[in-house]
Amino acid sequence: MFFPDATYADIDQSLARASGYYDEFRTMPGSKRATFLNQISSLLEKKGGKIVKLANEETSLGKPRLEMELVRTVATLKIFAQLAENEKWQNESMENPKEDSAIGTTFSKINLPIGIVVVIGACNFPLAISVVGTDTASALAVGCPVIVKSHPAHAATCQLLADLVCFAMETTGIAPGAFQLLHGKNHEITKKLVLHPKTSCVAFTGSFKGGRELAKIASRRQIPIPFHAEMGSLNPVILSPKKILQETEQIAFDYVRAVNLYAGQMCTKPGILFFLSYLNFSSFFECVRRAVLQERILPMLNSEVHRSYEESIRIMEKETSLLATNEQVHTEHHYPAFCRIFKLEAKQFLKKPELRVEAFGPTSMLVLCKNEHELLESINSLEGSLTASLHCFSEEKNFRSKLIPILESKVGRLLWNGFPPGVISGPATHHGGPWPATTDSRYTSIGREAYKRFVRPLCKQGFPIHT
């Protein structure tokens, strides 16, 4: 299917329509927005088979993966429907001073919707981080009109989902200004949306290169706006010597499985693993090799993602040694995601900043540190990530006490004896991290608290209570 690029006139018209509906949408009872979101979730469940079939044709992610993603998306919509219903997102607080107070007046604070939100979704999550994903659902829940820029890698899926949202608007009495979809392969369309004077906030999920460029544009506007981006992430894994010696095979296989999960096309894929190399870890290397050969070769999303992955591999081949690969295994896939694990010494890693960049695909590096000083120096050299994983025994207090403070300063989610792929939409979920993982580590793009990106506080002084 062909979807023509939106024109500048289309963009102006969409923003004008959203702006004209903003006051009505933000002030309507939360229960009405809840009904709207629940209707979308019901339609997704009803049309689930058709949605998954089309998304699989466009992305090759596979029916099982997409079916799980659909379930997650439906659950997310229900979470934010509940948030809209109870209106707890308003977070109203009140201070009523005593007569002898120096303040002598009443203060109240409440959250307001920030305005029109532009959503630029991910290529690797056509449902959960796309048209009806967390960005859209959380913004709609708090009364922000949403304009989604479709992803060209799955434009037909985007349109199908948008059609369902539009039907939900019709059946629940929500005007078209609340939600709109625009298509376009041209990057200028995205820039125009970010620059448009009626855009109040942007939510972006994508590459570091694209996110950094759009963040600059958002900050240089005549009136700067919040730009919430999730971008590149290495997601380091650190193994203690005791852990790796006692659980060699299990750790090796779990690590490779996490690297290859969904062809490594996950923002939380472990892209680097550190361990102390003063012991003989040849058995660990052999387990990694066997694990790689046992992993399925999966297709990548499209030719562009495959090309970018292979370019990253060529950089790594120049600076590291290939430890394990399944390239020798025959596959029928047009864009095969061959799993590759590289290794190098910490002193080499510290000299090569180009290796401290995410490679989007099923590849990772083993960094061999000859002592704790090299280990700490290597981890300190990393930029921000979404996650980090620390594998050690509880009795290794000295080992973890040196690492945890550093890791806490580098990531938004720290795992104990686990691997990071996968995240749930819970109240304690945080999917964010210091730059370049995200543009603002205080906020999450997954989970109930995602709505906080799309509200701003208003303080009222001297007003009668509840006015």
Exposed/middle/buried for residue 396 (C-beta within 10 Å: 0-12, 13-18, 19+): middle
Q: Which helix (H) or strand (E) holds 181?
A: strand 179-182
Distance CA 458, CA 125 (A): 35
The pairing of beta strand 336-337 with beta strand 107-113? unpaired
Q: Which of 144, 267, 287, 369 is catalytic?
A: 267
Distance CA 147, CA 13 (A): 11
Radius of gyration of the chain (CA): 24
192 and 11 Cβ atoms separated by less than 8 Å: yes
DSSP string for 183-214: --S-HHHHHHHHH-TT--EEEEES-HHHHHHH
Q: Residue 414 contacts by C-beta under 8 Å, 6 or more apart in sequence?
A: 387, 388, 389, 390, 404, 407, 408
Residue 230 is among the residues annotated as catalytic for this protein? yes
Q: Which of 230, 295, 374, 449 is catalytic?
A: 230
Count CB atoms within 10 A of the CB of residue 283: 13
Closest CA to 411 of 237, 263, 240: 237
For 389, phi then psi, to 5°, come to -125, 125
Distance CA 399, CA 173 (A): 59
Count CB atoms within 10 A of the CB of residue 6: 22
Residue 69 is among the residues annotated as catalytic for this protein? no
Closest CA to 26 of 132, 169, 142, 117: 142
**Which residues are designated catalytic?**
230, 267
